[in-house]
Structure formats: structure tokens, C-alpha cells
């Protein structure tokens, strides 16, 4: 174990002024907190066997299994997203998107929507990438459209949907159309009426003289930011899944708007990865086809894990407006598409 719990950060060189004293005090408080966290981690690793009796309860173990599986499942996609985001920061000149993107939002938004189909991943990779694109000067309307469409309409998700609903190709088309439409509507609305402060520049640009340094710094910072929120979101989802049994839904199943509403809320609460949500939707056979379409359109755009990640990438003010807007639009668009197509 190579972890040194005593951080030598106290030896930091600070100028000897009154201001320096304040800085030094703050630094030493932070160092103490960090040391406490590391000491706890080591303690837990060394004495893990003696804690097991505390966690023998099946509910706690169920929580831990669900929590860890959500974290592990999202991790590769998060690493992919963070890597692409860091590559953009290191390699793409900061004015490229401003020059490349179509001037008119009328063209930029659909272009960004279809570009989302190229990213073969789930929602966890698209958030760091979208944040970086805005940071690089892409119009917010286009970046937000990409953020919403990428996890919903990429080829991996489309194939999963067709496998989960065999013999019902209209489900795949309905999902593609409703997701793309929702992404473009929300992107344009949010992009047009965004107050200038909506992006709190959480993702600071770490420009160094050497590109390699820019890459490493951006990757580590983004990873910690997004990963921290991911762990928080996964903990919340695992708690809900453990506390509220899924068979509580067996009796509330219904048709019409009740089913649509229940499935929309379920998509937010369950936070199933967009690559797997088609299988879950296919299994919820007591619900109408339209409400299952709503589940698959809402899920990749708004869920607890995503709200946590969006808060991390764009700030709390942004997330608190973006999530309800997206939720309402997704439910509306998917219901209409479902009634017409399915």
C-alpha cells in the first residue's frame, strides 16, 4: 500500500503576509480534511473483515450490489467521454467550431442532432463532451441538442431496441424520431432563451503550452468532477431501488395518461443505462406501447444520475431548469409520436 496519509502539502511555500496567513490556514484545513479521507480509506482496507458484520443485512447488501453495478457499468463510458473531451481540449483550436458550425441555428441544431448518432455510447459519455464543446465556442443550442440526442439515437441503442422488441420495427423508428425531435426542440428553446449566466464555466479551460499537459489536466479534472457526481447519482438510484420494490408497480399499471405518467417517472427514478433500457421497457408488459416509448425517450435524457452529472458539468441553476423542460418536452413528443405511429 503506497498511500501516504500524511500529506506533505503543509510545506507549501506561501508569502509571509496577512493574506498569506489566511491562505496557509485554508490550505492546512483542506489538507487535514484530505488526510482524514485517506486515513479512513486505509483503515477500511486494513480492517475490512471486522466491519462485515455491520453490513450483513440483505437490504444493505442489495444496495451495495446495485450501487456498484451502476458505477461499474457507467465507468467505461465515463472514461470514454472524458478522454474525448480532453482530446478536444488539447487538439481542437478554440475557434474551430465557431468557424465550422453552420451560422444559422436552423441548420446547426439538426446537424448537431444527427451528429449525436455517431457517438456509440450511453448518456455518461455525452455530458463531458457537450460541456467541452460549449467551452470551445459551439452554440449552446447545438451542444445541448447533441447532449440529448447522442445517448438516445446512436446505433448501439437502436440495435438494442430492435432486439428487445422483435417484430416491431416501428418501435425503433418511433424512438429515433421522438428522441431526435425532443432533442432539437429542447436544444433550440434552451439555446435561445438561455440567460448569459447559464453556463457557469464549470469546465475551465486548462490551456498549457504543451498539449500533453492540457490533455492530462483536463482528463483528471473532468474525471473527478463527473465521477463524483456519478457515484452520488448511483447511490441515490440504488437507495430508491432497494427501498421501493418494483413489484409495487404491479398494481398501478394502467393505460392512457396514467401509464404514460407512471412510466415517465419510472424512467427518471430507475436511471437505467440507455443501452439497457429497451430490455427493461420490453419487460414491463403491463404498460401500453406508447407509455413504454415514453420510458425509452425520457430515460436517456432525464434521470437522477443524469441530473447529478449535469449539475456537475453546467451548474445547479442550469440543471434545475433544463431537467423539467426536457422532461415535459420528452413526455409530450413521445406521447404524440406513440399515438400516431404505434
Residues 102-161 binding other proteins (CB under 8 A) are none
Comparing CB distances to other proteins, the nearer of 75 and 115 is 75
Q: Does 8 bind other proteins (CB under 8 A)?
A: yes
Stretch that binds other proteins, among 103-111, 125-133, 181-189, 277-285 (CB under 8 A): 277-285
Distance (Å, whole) CA 123 – CA 143:
14
State the burial class of residue 15 (Cβ atoms within 10 Å of its Cβ: 0-12, 13-18, 19+): exposed
Q: How far is the CB of 123 from other proteins (least distance, A)?
A: 13
Q: How far is the CB of 209 from other proteins (least distance, A)?
A: 9
User: What's the CA angle centered on 271, arms 269 and 277, to 5 degrees?
Assistant: 120
Q: Does 84 bind other proteins (CB under 8 A)?
A: no
Comparing CB distances to other proteins, the nearer of 77 and 327 is 77
End-to-end CA distance of the chain: 58
Comparing CB distances to other proteins, the nearer of 139 and 296 is 296
Residue 335: which region, alpha, beta or left (left: phi > 0; alpha: psi -120 to 50)?
alpha
The one among 96, 156, 284, 342 contacting other proteins by CB under 8 A: 284
The one among 156, 279, 317, 328 contacting other proteins by CB under 8 A: 279
Q: Which residues contact 260 (CB under 8 A, 6 or more apart)?
A: 288, 290, 291, 294, 331, 335
Give me the 16-35 binding string for other proteins, x by CB under 8 A, dash otherwise.
Answer: --------------xx--x-
The radius of gyration of the chain from alpha carbons, rounded to an integer in Å, stands at: 22
Q: Does 219 bind other proteins (CB under 8 A)?
A: yes
Q: How far is the CB of 244 from other proteins (least distance, A)?
A: 9
For residue 175, the number of C-alpha atoms closer than 13 Å in the C-beta half-sphere is 36
Q: Are the CB atoms for 89 and 205 separated by under 8 Å?
A: yes
Number of chain positions touching other proteins (CB under 8 A):
86
Distance (Å, whole) CA 338 – CA 336:
5
Q: Does 12 bind other proteins (CB under 8 A)?
A: yes
Q: Does 290 bind other proteins (CB under 8 A)?
A: no
The one among 68, 98, 106, 339 contacting other proteins by CB under 8 A: 68
Q: Does 175 bind other proteins (CB under 8 A)?
A: no
Read off the C-alpha cell for 115: 451528429
Q: Does 73 bind other proteins (CB under 8 A)?
A: yes
Comparing CB distances to other proteins, the nearer of 199 and 277 is 277
DSSP assigned state of 98: H
Amino acid at each position: 500500500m503506497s498511500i501516504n496519509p500524511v500529506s506533505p502539502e503543509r510545506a507549501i511555500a506561501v508569502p509571509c503576509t496577512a493574506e498569506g496567513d489566511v491562505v496557509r490556514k485554508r490550505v492546512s484545513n483542506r489538507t487535514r480534511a484530505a488526510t482524514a479521507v485517506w486515513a479512513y480509506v486505509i483503515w477500511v482496507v486494513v480492517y475490512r473483515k471486522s466491519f462485515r458484520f455491520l453490513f450483513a443485512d440483505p437490504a444493505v447488501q442489495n444496495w451495495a450490489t446495485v450501487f456498484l453495478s451502476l458505477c461499474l457499468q457507467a465507468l467505461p463510458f465515463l472514461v470514454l467521454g472524458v478522454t474525448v473531451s480532453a482530446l478536444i481540449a488539447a487538439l481542437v483550436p478554440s475557434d474551430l467550431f465557431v468557424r465550422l458550425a453552420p451560422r444559422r441555428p436552423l441548420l446547426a441544431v439538426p446537424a448537431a442532432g444527427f451528429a449525436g448518432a455517431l457517438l456509440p455510447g450511453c448518456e455518461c459519455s455525452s455530458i463531458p463532451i457537450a460541456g467541452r464543446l460549449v467551452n470551445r465556442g459551439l452554440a449552446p443550442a447545438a451542444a445541448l441538442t447533441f447532449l440529448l440526442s447522442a445517448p438516445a439515437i446512436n446505433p448501439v441503442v437502436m440495435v438494442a431496441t430492435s432486439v428487445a422488441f422483435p417484430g416491431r420495427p416501428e418501435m425503433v423508428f418511433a424512438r429515433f424520431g421522438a428522441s431526435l425531435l425532443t432533442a432539437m426542440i429542447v436544444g433550440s428553446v434552451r439555446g435561445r432563451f438561455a440567460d448569459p449566466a447559464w453556463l457557469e464555466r464549470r469546465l475551465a479551460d486548462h490551456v498549457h503550452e504543451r498539449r500533453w499537459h492540457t490533455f492530462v489536466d483536463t482528463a483528471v479534472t473532468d474525471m473527478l468532477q463527473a465521477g463524483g457526481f456519478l457515484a452520488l447519482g448511483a447511490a441515490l438510484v440504488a437507495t430508491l431501488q432497494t427501498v421501493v420494490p418494483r413489484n409495487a408497480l404491479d398494481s398501478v399499471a394502467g393505460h392512457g395518461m396514467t401509464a404514460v405518467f407512471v412510466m415517465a417517472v419510472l424512467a427518471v427514478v430507475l436511471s437505467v443505462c440507455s443501452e439497457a433500457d429497451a430490455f427493461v421497457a420490453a419487460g414491463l408488459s403491463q404498460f401500453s406501447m406508447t407509455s413504454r416509448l415514453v420510458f425509452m425517450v425520457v430515460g436517456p435524457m432525464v434521470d437522477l444520475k443524469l441530473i447529478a452529472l449535469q449539475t456537475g458539468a453546467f451548474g445547479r441553476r442550469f440543471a434545475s431548469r433544463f431537467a423539467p423542460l426536457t422532461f415535459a418536452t420528452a413526455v409530450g413528443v413521445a406521447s404524440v409520436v406513440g399515438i400516431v405511429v404505434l
